[in-house]
Structure 1
Amino acid sequence: MAAGPYRPKCSRLVGICVLLGALWKIQAEQIRYSVPEELEEGSYVGSIAKDLGLEPLELSERGVRIISRGKTQLFALNPRMGSLVTAGKIDREELCDRSPKCVVSLEILLEDKVKIFGVEVEIIDVNDNVPNFGTEQREIKVAENESPGTRFPLPEAFDPDVGVNSLQGYQLSSNVHFSLDVQSGADGIKYPELVLELALDREEVAVHHLLLTAFDGGDLAHSGTVKIHVTLVDTNDNAPVFTQPEYHVKVPENVPVGYRLLTVKATDPDEGANGEVTYSFRKVREKMSQLFQLNSLTGDITVLGDLDYEDSGFYDIDVEAHDGPGLRARSKVLVTVLDVNDNAPEVTVTSLISSVQETSPPGTVIALFNVHDSDSGENGFVTCSILDNLPFTLEKTYGNYHRLLTCRTLDREEVSEYNITVTATDHGMPPLSTETQISLQVVDINDNPPAFPHASYSAYIPENNPRGASILSMSAQDPDSIENARVTYSLAEDTLHGLSLSSYVSINSDTGVLYALCSFDFEQVRDLQLLVRASDSGNPPLSSNASLNIFIVDQNDNAPEILYPSLPTDGSTGVELAPCSAEPGYLVTKVVAVDRDSGQNAWLSYRLQESCGKSEPLLVSEKINVNEELGVVQYVDFKTV
């Protein structure tokens, strides 16, 4: 007897309410929510601020944001409400196909703490798909002499929903000759079969028209139909039989298009058209039809499109063999796609600072980045590295996140900029790697005082110099930068002869050139001892000193002065008398003279000026001699005196 019309007993809801599942935290700081599919954009998912222990307004202030590697952003943050919301409609079937459980993972970054929280959102299926047979009608050819109880496979419907929302059963329109029986396979799939109840007579009715209905469950149940045309033919008493109930094949994901996976084979002992077997896919989905092709005559299954393990690692293909009159047999082809190392690691820099002060302590976080490899097993296992000679280290944190840290205090004067290459390498054969460049500027602080090349300097300037004459240029170097390296010069306060040193010399604060402020007199000042200070412009400023000795060089600017004999002041002639009996060599007098200069400028020599008498010429040098070095005056000859 045919089954009665199907009427779902589940209540119908006016709208779909947001399902907020139990929220809990697990180790590794992970948060879970649940939400139904097909919600409008902006629908509430969960209070992320509350679960992070924050106030809603703190989300923006503390740099809370979503990190997602997916091509489409499924969720967003509502900073005003402090909640996680949908970023658009979510189609569970598109996202997770027929997987029993659909979970979307994302990460929440707490920027100011450089901390990652894992969030899992389970997408709950709703009954938004109708069972579909993939065809509007199906013809079944039945031999008119078939015995009651014979079974004929009927087309199966496909419903991409899961659980109670997926396909629940079938029903057949009322007919006295046929009934419906639904079998459940080992894989849980329901297979409808047409059962012959009464003997047929082709001459009485050549074609029987039936309607097969498939229905799903859940609230607001859906159904789909297909027309079944049972055409009576002459006897075909053998259906095709496959050589195997299931065919298993493993294939690398990088096989070329046109590669032959395997050949299915079915035999039929009938003769003529009743034994001619052809092959086809059953209930093949669009995606699968783009990847595989079945030769209807040979049974060869070839690769039609590019296989991708990361897209799907397993395919369950239903094949069917049917003879000329339409008897059919079923088999399965189970294709396992093997992963090859065809994806290089992906490095996503989540947080990065471009500069760091040179006094920052070891352990300062420079960057936070995520490493992902779409391959599996060793092909997807990634290690990260940097050059050993750099003052940085890598630290693995939550999941696939890594932090780049300083491992010692940096010195800008040693290296002012680092170009850090982070290399992510998988463990495939051969391994694939990705390099990511991170540039870091080391910011200067005032940690170096200006330094003179020498601790002390000497300079010489002749006396009687013009005012403003340049004496010496002092220069100090500071390895810091900008203001911290801008050097100014000054003189330490001191006095000489009761006067400040600044009244004698000055120094240009920018160039370090020393100038004479007065004309020096060697006979008054022979040397100056100064302390020159070089200071930078940092905050606080640093300085250093160098001593400077300025020596005044004597010039011959003073004439000798005769101390003895001195010129008379009483109006006398100042004549030196000698006795007439004086012998040659008699000491007449000794001339004493001094010179205020020094060195060669003060060396004196003596000579007589020539003069003659009134009556006859007489050379003084013939009668009187003077010692050039000692200034001693002696008589030489008195005969003519």
Structure 2
Amino acid sequence: MLCWMLVTFWDAVSGQIRYSIPEETERGAFVGDVAKDLGLHAEQPSERGVRIVSGGRTQYFALNAESGHLITAERIDRERICGRAGKCLLSCELIVEDTMKLYGVEVEITDINDNAPSFPTEEMELKVSETTAPGSRILLPEAQDSDLGTNSIQSYQLSSDGHFSLDVQTGPDGVKHAELVLEKSLDREEQAVHTLILTATDGGDPVRSGTAQIRVTVLDANDNAPVFSQPVYTVSVWENVPAGSTILTVKATDLDEGVNKEIKYSFRKITDKASQIFRLDAKTGDITAMGNVNFEESALYEIEVQAQDGGGRFDKSKVVIEVSDVNDNAPEIAVRSLFSLVAEDSVPGTVIALIKVRDPDSGKNGEVTCHLQHNLPFTIISSSSSYYKLVTDSPLDRERAPEYNITITATDKGSPPLSTQKTILLQISDVNDNAPVFEKPSYSAYVPENNPSGASIFSVRATDRDWGENARVTYSLLEGEGREAPLSSAVSINSETGAVYALRSFDYEQLRELRFRVQARDGGSPPLRSNVSVRLLVLDQNDNSPHILHPASPSDGSTGVELAPRSSEPGYLVTKVVAVDADSGQNAWLSYQLLKATEPGLFSVGVHSGEVRTARYFVDRDGLKQSLVVLVKDNGQPPLSATVTVTVAVADSIPELLSDLSSLSAPAQPQSGLTLYLVIAVASVSCVFLTFVIALVALRLRRWRESQLLDSSSGTFSGVPVSHFVGIDGVRAFLHSYSQEASLTAGSGKSQFNFPQSNYANTLTSEQTCEVKDPFLMAEELNVSNADQSSVQ
């Protein structure tokens, strides 16, 4: 522990340098090469933050930042600063800020002979009785010289006079006292006044001297001198003693009578400073404090007092005034070095400031302790007797506290204690320790399809708790995995504002949802990043018209025809219009409407089903060919629609139907080469099939004749399948399969097919379109002889 304390103290005060200069040196005079003595010549002291501070109120020294020389900043008067002290030392501190090291510098001020000896008064009056015996001694006032050593008073000389001589005595303290010695008796009647010149000379180079005129008045006999009650008077006073207070009374007595008994008190030896503070009453001997008795300026005053009677005889005594300290000075706080900006990632123990604390008082009144306010991440530790270090105590966080007002309180141990506060503003510099944070954990945005290219869709926003460049957030898009087209072709983002723009128009039918990620990156070094998921939903618009699947538009020149028996009941299902809409939601809700019909009121269309049904019974005036225009409309705003023409063939008998089907043919249109080939192929197959049918009919007629079944004039047909497609003259008609009963009757030399009106199917067997690959052709008319009574199925 002792070693650690020594190292700590040595770190705070790493060295002690002493120089010596004579007093009265002019301002700017060279004192010493501090940079060389401290080994700082590798670089200029200004680059290392070397500066000098003085502990007193007056700055006597300065540091040349370029040369590193210590020079005088003021004219130095040794006597004014140190008085009669044997050694006069001025101290200051040298601080190297880059290493936070402290060096003590002491400069000894040597005395020069700049003060001449002087007497308290230029004229002194002495009264000597004529009865004074030869050899009597008269103590003369001492000359004052502020210089020390050989520069102080070394000798006294007295002008020649036959009655007096001068004897110089050296006291225990080395001070020389001059005494006037009566060499022969005085005769007042011969000479009443003797004038002498006393000269005090110092030992300086050059020699200085001072003179005083002594006027000796010869008096009548006075054989008793005054005597003080004490050779030394000692008194102790508080430094805050009120002005005008009597602190001491000196008393002397004289056994003479009359004028020779009247005593007059005076200061025989007193300093200039003490003469301004204390006053001696010449009659009473009371010593009063007239000025401020300050312990910090002087703790002890020594004064010589003199009591002189009316006959010129006198006595002297010494007065010692001890000043007791009062806790009247609050501690002083001086910040020697300060880092006003500290990074938030500074480790605990980082030095913030170097602080010096002093109290001019003494004893307990001058003992000072320092502390900080609570709940701060700092502490103050003692570095030396009067120096403290302000250091970090825990990690700093600029986002929680960007700056601190650190109040340092210095309190002494006086009664009552006095304290001083000093506030230091410390700013915390930012470190990039916070990543950007988005306002939402994920974003969902909606954009209608067919949006204009380049339009803003929505915005993302991220904030960063850091400051300055560390808090500047830029945005970018991140490509997703498994995407057919690059994300950059669909959307873009403003790197500064976070606004997302559509680079193209979206189609709900092609793209319903787009997922991607947005990255926010701050401007720190190294930068910090954060990502957020974005889900972009494309909203459907009514931009697709209904598409009719059935009945399909003919592509080969044929006309689709639906079959409705003339004997159908109301509600008979003729066909069903099937349509789809590529949109979604209500934009895809379809409704059906009969827009136009050959016979109004004959057919109806289901609003939601699209089923085409008979609305009433057929009558004779109803034509064989009925054209219906069906409107298919969606529920969008505005609604879109499509129309389809449905051709319905109405017939009671197949011959009638076959004979009139030719009239249902669509207008002739130029046929392509492919259509011609198809017609030829169908005709060839039809001829072969017709020949087969005729041969089969002839064969069955022959068997019938042989079986003697000619008496049967009618036959029941069952399960006659009608082809989905009946090709007539190159025209394709769309038919559905129905189960019908038919009978062949003979009469009037002509056979007929009759369709009974019983239990017709009223629903379609399938909603899907079927195509018969082997259509058959039927003869427009079948003539059967009554005699033959032939039957045909």
Change (3 A) 1:223 1:603: closer
Please name the residue that 1:7 is paired with: none
Quick check: 26-35 or 344-353, which moved more? 26-35
Please name the residue that 2:342 is paired with: 356
* 2:492 aligned to which of 506, 511, 529: 506
Please name the residue that 2:579 is paired with: 593
Please name the residue that 2:589 is paired with: 603
Q: Structure 2: give runs of 5+ residues left out of the alignment.
A: 1-11, 621-793
SS in 2 for 1:341: coil
* 2:369 aligned to which of 383, 388, 392: 383
Please name the residue that 1:12 is paired with: none
Tell whether the 8 Å contact from 1:57 to 1:80 is kept in structure 2 after alignment.
no
SS in 2 for 1:112: coil
Please name the residue that 2:689 is paired with: none
SS in 2 for 1:385: strand
Please name the residue that 1:47 is paired with: 33
Quick check: 308-317 or 28-37, which moved more? 28-37
Corresponding letter in the other structure for 1:535: R
Alignment of 1:429 with 2:415, yes or no, is yes
SS in 2 for 1:117: strand
Tell whether the 8 Å contact from 1:489 to 1:509 is kept in structure 2 after alignment.
yes
Whole-Å separation in 1 of the counterparts to 2:43 and 2:513: 74
Please name the residue that 1:334 is paired with: 320
Please name the residue that 1:441 is paired with: 427
Please name the residue that 2:18 is paired with: 32
Question: How many residues are matched?
Answer: 609
* 2:81 aligned to which of 82, 90, 95: 95
Please name the residue that 1:214 is paired with: 200
Please name the residue that 2:351 is paired with: 365
Structure number with bigger Rg: 2
Change (3 A) 1:211 1:592: closer
Please name the residue that 2:449 is paired with: 463
Please name the residue that 1:292 is paired with: 278
Change (3 A) 1:472 1:75: closer
Q: Structure 1: give runs of 5+ residues left out of the alignment.
A: 1-25
Whole-Å separation in 2 of the counterparts to 1:272 and 1:330: 21
Please name the residue that 2:659 is paired with: none
Superposition pairs of residues 3-14 of structure 1, within 5 angstroms: none
* 2:563 aligned to which of 547, 569, 577: 577
* 2:477 aligned to which of 471, 491, 503: 491
1:330 Cα offset (Å) = 0.6
TM-score (norm: length of structure 1): 0.86
Whole-Å separation in 1 of the counterparts to 2:147 and 2:559: 147
Quick check: 461-470 or 234-243, which moved more? 461-470
Change (3 A) 1:571 1:174: closer
Superposition pairs of residues 168-207 of structure 1, within 5 angstroms: 168-175=154-161, 177-185=163-171, 187-207=173-193
Corresponding letter in the other structure for 1:352: L
Corresponding letter in the other structure for 2:119: F
Whole-Å separation in 1 of the counterparts to 2:42 and 2:608: 106
1:319 Cα offset (Å) = 0.8
SS in 1 for 2:235: strand
Quick check: 223-232 or 151-160, which moved more? 223-232
Tell whether the 8 Å contact from 2:126 to 2:216 is kept in structure 1 after alignment.
yes
Whole-Å separation in 1 of the counterparts to 2:395 and 2:308: 78
Corresponding letter in the other structure for 1:272: G
Tell whether the 8 Å contact from 2:53 to 2:59 is kept in structure 1 after alignment.
no
Corresponding letter in the other structure for 1:619: G
1:600 Cα offset (Å) = 3.2
Superposition pairs of residues 218-257 of structure 1, within 5 angstroms: 220-257=206-243
For CA contacts below 8 A with separation 6 or more, give which structure has more relative contact order: 1
Please name the residue that 1:84 is paired with: 70
Please name the residue that 1:344 is paired with: 330
Alignment of 1:525 with 2:511, yes or no, is yes
User: Sequence identity, in percent?
Assistant: 59
Please name the residue that 2:462 is paired with: 476
* 1:139 aligned to which of 108, 113, 125: 125
Please name the residue that 1:19 is paired with: none
* 2:248 aligned to which of 251, 258, 262: 262
Please name the residue that 1:13 is paired with: none
Change (3 A) 1:37 1:465: closer
Tell whether the 8 Å contact from 1:49 to 1:56 is kept in structure 2 after alignment.
no
1:474 Cα offset (Å) = 1.2
SS in 2 for 1:307: coil
Please name the residue that 1:535 is paired with: 521
1:33 Cα offset (Å) = 2.1
User: Higher helix proportion, which one?
Assistant: 2
Change (3 A) 1:581 1:311: same
Please name the residue that 2:601 is paired with: 619
Change (3 A) 1:513 1:80: closer
Tell whether the 8 Å contact from 1:356 to 1:440 is kept in structure 2 after alignment.
yes
SS in 1 for 2:46: helix
Change (3 A) 1:593 1:220: closer
Tell whether the 8 Å contact from 1:56 to 1:80 is kept in structure 2 after alignment.
no
1:320 Cα offset (Å) = 0.7
Alignment of 1:516 with 2:510, yes or no, is no
Corresponding letter in the other structure for 1:471: I
1:154 Cα offset (Å) = 1.8
Quick check: 276-285 or 41-50, which moved more? 41-50
SS in 1 for 2:71: strand
Whole-Å separation in 2 of the counterparts to 1:68 and 1:531: 64
1:114 Cα offset (Å) = 2.3
Tell whether the 8 Å contact from 2:270 to 2:302 is kept in structure 1 after alignment.
no
Quick check: 450-459 or 595-604, which moved more? 595-604
1:569 Cα offset (Å) = 4.9
Tell whether the 8 Å contact from 2:13 to 2:102 is kept in structure 1 after alignment.
no
Please name the residue that 2:287 is paired with: 301
SS in 1 for 2:98: helix
Please name the residue that 1:67 is paired with: 53
Alignment of 1:561 with 2:543, yes or no, is no
Whole-Å separation in 2 of the counterparts to 1:45 and 1:487: 58
CA RMSD of aligned residues (A): 3.0
Change (3 A) 1:572 1:190: closer
Alignment of 1:110 with 2:92, yes or no, is no
